[in-house]
Structures are given as C-alpha cells and as structure tokens.
Amino acid sequence: MTLDISENNLSENSLRAFYSSLRAHNRYHSVKMTNLGLQAKCKDSLWFDLASALEFNKALVELDMRGNHINEVCLSRIIDSLKENTVMTELKLDISV
C-alpha cells in the first residue's frame, strides 16, 4: 500500500500518531511525505520519533522526505535507524551544505 501525505500542514500530534502507526503496523510499502511545511515549527524530537518507527517497521521499502529541511543531527538519526530496518531500499532526502 502507498500513502502520500505530501504538502499537508499536519500538526505534530498528527505526525506522531502516523509514526506510531508506522511503528506498529506493516501496511505501507511506500510513503511520500514531501514538503510538509514543518521547517519553522518542527522539533528535532519529531524526526527522532520517525527514526524510531523506521527501526521497527518491516514493510516500508520506499520513503520520500524531500523538501522538509531536516537538520544534520536528525538526518543522521534517521539514517542510523536503517541499520535495524533491513527492508528499505529507497530513501529520498534533500541534503544541503
């Protein structure tokens, strides 16, 4: 199943609920969450919660997170989470220096 939540102005609580679902259920094979508009209000802990969910999810093969201006610390945590996730084959991110 594919889910596209791109370009939605979701609240932190909504994203945390989604991450919780992602962690507990293996129903999505592809998730697109581009340009969520979180840059000004996003806390690092929100991206850390996603990383934690990725460690437990055993179905997600593709994740597209371009356009979210994720800082280096959070990006590193997300990438580290993939050490536990052995099924993801495609992770799309923007990296700026």
Can you give the pLDDT at residue 70?
87
SS3 2: strand
39 — pLDDT class (breaks 50, 70, 90): low
Higher pLDDT, 43 or 90: 90
User: Domain limits of the chain?
Assistant: 2-92
Distance CA 62, CA 11 (A): 23
Q: What percent of the chain has pLDDT over 70?
A: 93
SS3 32: strand
SS3 85: coil
SS3 26: coil
The identity of residue 79, as a single letter, is: I
Q: Which fold has domain 2-92?
A: 3.80.10
